[in-house]
Every structure is written in C-alpha cells, then in structure tokens.
Amino acid sequence: MAVHTPAHSALGGLLSYASLQPLAPGTLVRVPLGTREVLGVVWEAPASEPGVPPAQLRAIAGVLAGLPPLNAHWRALVAFAARYYQRSLGEVALAALPAQLRTLGPEQMARRLRRPAAAGTDTDATPLIALSTEQESARAEIDSKNGPFLLFGSTGSGKTEVYLRCVQDLLLAAPAAQALVMVPEINLTPQLEERFVARFGAGQVVSLHSGMTNPQRLKSWLAAHSGQARIVLGTRMAVFASMPGLGLIVVDEEHDASYKQQEGARYSARDLAVWRARACGAKVILGSATPSLESWHASRPPSEGDPEGGRYQRLEMPSRIGAAALPRVRRVDMGQQPRRAVFSAPLLAAITERVQRGEQCMVLLNRRGYAPVLHCQDCDWKSDCPHCSAHQVFHKIDRSLRCHHCGYAQRVPRACPACGSPDIAPMGRGTEQLEEHLAGLLEGVSRQGGGPVRIARIDADSTRAAGALQSQLAQVHAGEVDVLVGTQMIAKGHDFRRVSLVAAVQPDGALFSSDFRAPERLFALLMQAAGRAGRDAAWMAERGTPCEMWVQSHHPKHPVYEALRRHDYAAFAAQQLTEREQAGMPPFAFQALVRADARTQEVAQGFLAAAANAAREAALPGVEHISLYPPIPLAVQRVAGVERAQMLVESASRPALQHFLAAWQPLLHALRADPAHKGLVRWLVDVDPLAI
C-alpha cells in the first residue's frame, strides 16, 4: 500500500494492510495510519519482500468503489519519479492525486460519483486555417515518426496550430485516445483553453492547475481518469493526471523553469513527460522558440564526429505566420546616456511616436515593487528583512515594506529606525516606480484620437486579486492600453496583436551572475519578449513601419545581445554548449544538490560535511565517479529565520549518480537522528537542479 507518510520518517516504503477481499493494484482505499485515516493506493508487493502474517496487520477502512483502478502506466510513472527524484513512493503517489480525493471517504465518493456529469456544450468547430509549408511539414513528421520531437519554432510561427492539428489527428484516429497539453504558468491556460474549446468543444476539454478550487480539480481529474475528457490542459502538476487513453503529450515553452517543482518532490514535468510518453507508447512534442540547452543538445543532428546524434528529432519552423517579420533589435549603450537616465532619449522618442500612431508598446523590467530597498543617506541603514538575509522591497502603492521571500510586511517608517534621520529614499527601481516614471515622461503626449497616454502594469502585485490578470489582459487586447509595463509575466505566450515595440530597460544583471544558467534564462526571456512585437502581419503592414525590440545595456556588445540582434538562437546555443562542455557542466554532466535547513549556518553545513564524510567512509556504490563539493550557504542564506546551506554532487554518469544517491539515503536518515546535528530542521535532495 502506498500512503503519504511523514517526511524523513522510517515509513518511507510500502505499508501492508489486511483486506477481506482481493484488491487490484491501483485501487483507492482508506486506511488507518497512526491515529488518522488516510487515502492509500493499492500497490504490487515487491517480490523480494517477505509476507507479513495477516493477524499482525491493520485492516483497511474502506474501498472507494466506483473508481477504476489507477493503471499500470500511471503507477510506473509514479514509481520512476519517486526513485529518480529520491522521494518516497507514497509521497509522490498521493501528492499526484487531487487534494479533495485525499479527504473523501467511500460514502462521500459514492455520492460524488452518483451526481450526473455536467453536459459539455460542444460548440461549432472553428473553420480550419490553412497550414504553412513549415507547419504542414512538422505535422507530417510527427504523424509518421515516433519522436520525441523538439518543435523549434520562432515566436509567431504557429506552434499552437500544430499542436491543435496533432491533437485532432489523434482523436480522429482512435475513439478512446487522450491528449495532454502543458503550459508553464497558470496565466497562459485561459487563452489556450479558449482555442481548444473553440476547436473541440467544451465537453472534451478540462484544465488542471493549482489556481482551481479543490472541487474543480477533482471534477477535472475524474473526467480525465474516466476517459470522458479527451484533452487535458494544465501546468506541471498535470503530468501526473490519470489518463488511461494517453496518446500524445505536448509541452509548450518547454524551456521554462516553471516546469521544475520547487517544493516536496522536486521533479521536472518536462522530463517526466518524455519518460511517460516513452513508457506508455505515446508521442511527445516539446515546443519552444528558445529550447533548453539540454533539449537542444538532445536533438542534435548526426555528424561525422557524432554519427548517432541526439535522441530527439528536431523540427524547425523559422518563419512567422503571414510573412510577419521578426522585430529589429536596437541596442542602446547606457554608458553614453546621462548618468541617472532610466529611459534613453532615442527609446523615449520611439515609444512616443508609436503611441501617437495608435500602436502599443511593452516595457520589461523583471523586478516588481517600487524599489528593491529603502536606504538612509546618513547612516547607511537599509530595509533589511528581520527574518531573512534579504532586503524588504518598498511598495509605494500601499506604503509598505515587504519581503518577497518570507512575506513579512510592515509600514514604511517616517524616519530612519537606526538614526532617526528623515532622509530615507528608495534605491533601484521596480515595475511600480517604472510605471510612475514613464507616466511623468509621457505626461504631455497625446495618444491617437486624443487623450493622455494610458499605462498599465502587470506583475505579481497588480494581479493578486482573483480575475485581475484576465481583466488586464483583456484591456490590452482591446486596445485600451498604450504602454504595458511588467515583469516576465508579460513576456511569455501572450498574443498581443497591436504591440509593435518591446523594450528591456535593465537586463544586465543576469550577464555576470554566479549561476551558469543565467545567460540562457536571459536570452530566452528577451527572445520571448521580442516575440510579443509584430505578431499580426496584416496590421503591421498597414502601419508601414517595422516592429522593434529595444535593449538598454551598459554592455551592448555582449555575445548574448549580439545573438539576440540576429535572432540567432542556434549560434547562442552552440557558444553556450561549448563553454559548458569545457567546464563539465550539464548537459555534459549530471548534478544533484543536497540542501540542509537549520537553526544556525554551522549546523546546516556541519550536517552536509558529515554526510559527505559518511559517504566516502562507507564507499557507497558509484562514489568513485562522484564529485562532492564543500557545503556553502545559499545566495539568500536565511529565510524566515532558518539558515540554509547546500552541497553540490556531480558526476559524468547519470546511472552512477542515481546509484550513489539511492545508497546515500539511509545514511542521511541516520545522520538526521544523530544528536550531533541537533538544530537541523530538514534536509532534501534536488536532482537536476535549475539554480545553484
């Protein structure tokens, strides 16, 4: 039986229970665990494990009758995820099920299943648009070959239409087939759902993401599990959806870091999608204009020095639909601008001209709030968070200081808390200040048709209220916004038809980061942002001017910006992969992080050092192929009063790393119980980490 046992408990494996009737593997049951009654999944007993006498077993409390068992493919996916990401099987299995399902008893579930399913209102199918030559070629390749496929298409090349046609081909070919389509963030699901519902009807499409209520998620899960819903749209959690007829998985924007879970079992939904498709005989399409370097390397074509090439098949769609041109990239050297300038004179003039012609502009700054920190000019006091080794961000709109790590908030002081000076001022800029500053610069400008320029801001603060994001996006699409200011939330996936200019005002911070993935993330963000401009070829042709992407930088000749100027992802990827191969970094090496959280930094690092010594002394399998680096604090080493440290584990062999981590688990559990590490709060293993 797989049940969700407490983290780091000695009950990490399968548990045995007595049942008066034989139960098929995958059956959902209620079982006692300590003083509680919890949901369990019947699992196959390991062949090597001796049976327990029935008299010593506790009996199951009830069976959730009426639900078909979770099939063997689903159980294999959960077992693989638990094994690969070093978590207990019960934790992964139960976390993959809807929260409300974990609380319903047999009688409640029976009543729930007796309710008639809401009839889907199938709409008239939208007329199919003609595919471009590149789209038709990609569709034909996906139809005739097994994949996995990397659909490398520029922004605006029509990747979504290829997904729609491939799903349509699947559903027509097999009456019970199902398709799973994943997007990286919740805010991208409404527009995708709208397109799928318009094509296939509401009765066949359900969504699965954390923004839904528990009853909504259970309803969608049951529809997918029963086969009633043939298309499931969702975020990373949807990779575990029970879909007995699964025949196709689409992972849109496959490069996005949001596919990596950052709590509990730290799985990559993209990687699990590839594994799941292969295990159940489905096809998988990974789509992106800026693929992850791992996927790009895995799709490399055969060459003289590498006759086999990668295991993915690369499909390219470099052209935009309707002969729309990619934006011209213009770089501004901020070293040649006035010292405190936020917007260079050429960029401000370009924004003014576009607004006066009735076009929309988009300004990207990946930092929310008004300013990153408040600062005292007299004593150098800064608005540090009392619970974290980070600053509290100044939010002018509600006069608050807020920590974006632990959530601690307080009112802005009238004077410096340290010296009493009233001379405290914001340092740096966030989207809130950028919006205010831009409004001042455009105060005397009239938009087309008369009236002041309308500026809107979209970030995690402005979209906190329910429905706020959808309302703001609707205003942009309706042309009620002239300039949109925002964080990375506005850079991905949105089909803004009237945006003709995109500007990145302070992108340099990622160029010299200690994280080796920072240039890859910056290039992807800027390419995605650039892709919001000029998406409607006919509308841009009427305007008579090309769309533009402006980058303000103190290092305009940096290779990242040079590749961006040419829209040359292939050259950027080649340069990055060469550097990574020389440095022995992924995808040419495999990594895991062991992290320890404790009351003091000494305890956290002491636990990690002891774990490394124990591994060497025990001569664990694969240790000779493993590099264990010294423990160090995290970049933000204290969050909510807890100190955090990490240790990098690296190997050139994925199997060697996996064998080592599996053998290391018992030692880590034993060390946690050692009184020498009193004060340790928790430890965890992060396989294939995205940030170090």
- Annotated binding-site residue numbers for Zn(2+): 376, 379, 385, 388, 403, 406, 416, 419
CA distance 497 to 479: 9
| Closest among 509, 464, 528 to 257, alpha carbons compared | 528
Burial class of residue 194, CB neighbours in 10 A (0-12, 13-18, 19+): exposed
| Closest among 171, 86, 186, 192 to 667, alpha carbons compared | 86
Residue with tokens 């305009």: 556
Asked whether the beta carbons of 405 and 372 are under 8 A apart, the reply is no
HEC string of 234-293 equals ECHHHHHCCCCCEEEEEEECCCCHHHECCCCCCCEHHHHHHHHHHHHCCEEEEEECCCCH
Contacts 24+ apart (CB under 8 A), 583-588: 583/516, 584/650, 584/652, 585/516, 586/293, 586/294, 586/688, 587/293, 587/294, 587/297, 587/298, 588/652
Asked whether the beta carbons of 661 and 622 are under 8 A apart, the reply is no
Count of CA atoms in the C-beta half-sphere (13 A) of 191: 16
CA distance 409 to 654: 43
A 10 A CB-CB count for 577 gives 18
The two three-digit tokens of residue 680, written as one number: 């340790």
DSSP class of residue 645 equals E
228 Cβ contact partners less than 8 Å away, ≥ 6 residues apart: 117
Q: What order of strands is seen across the sheet that includes strand 28-33? A: 2-3, 36-41, 28-33, 62-63
CA distance 224 to 231: 8
Which residues are annotated as part of the binding site? 376, 379, 385, 388, 403, 406, 416, 419
The two three-digit tokens of residue 234, written as one number: 């969702």
CA distance 173 to 557: 52
CA distance 373 to 395: 10
Asked whether the beta carbons of 539 and 498 are under 8 A apart, the reply is yes
Q: What is the DSSP string of 19-61?
A: -SS---TT-EEEEEETTEEEEEE--PPPTTSPPPPGGGSPBP-
Hey, which residues does 457 pair with through a beta bridge? 485
HEC string of 167-212 equals HHHHHHHCCCCEEEEECCCHHHHHHHHHHHHHHHCHHHEEEECCCC
ω into 148 cis (within 30 of 0):
yes
Residue with tokens 């089909």: 495
Distances (CA, A) of 681 to 593, 598, 640, 668: 17, 5, 12, 13
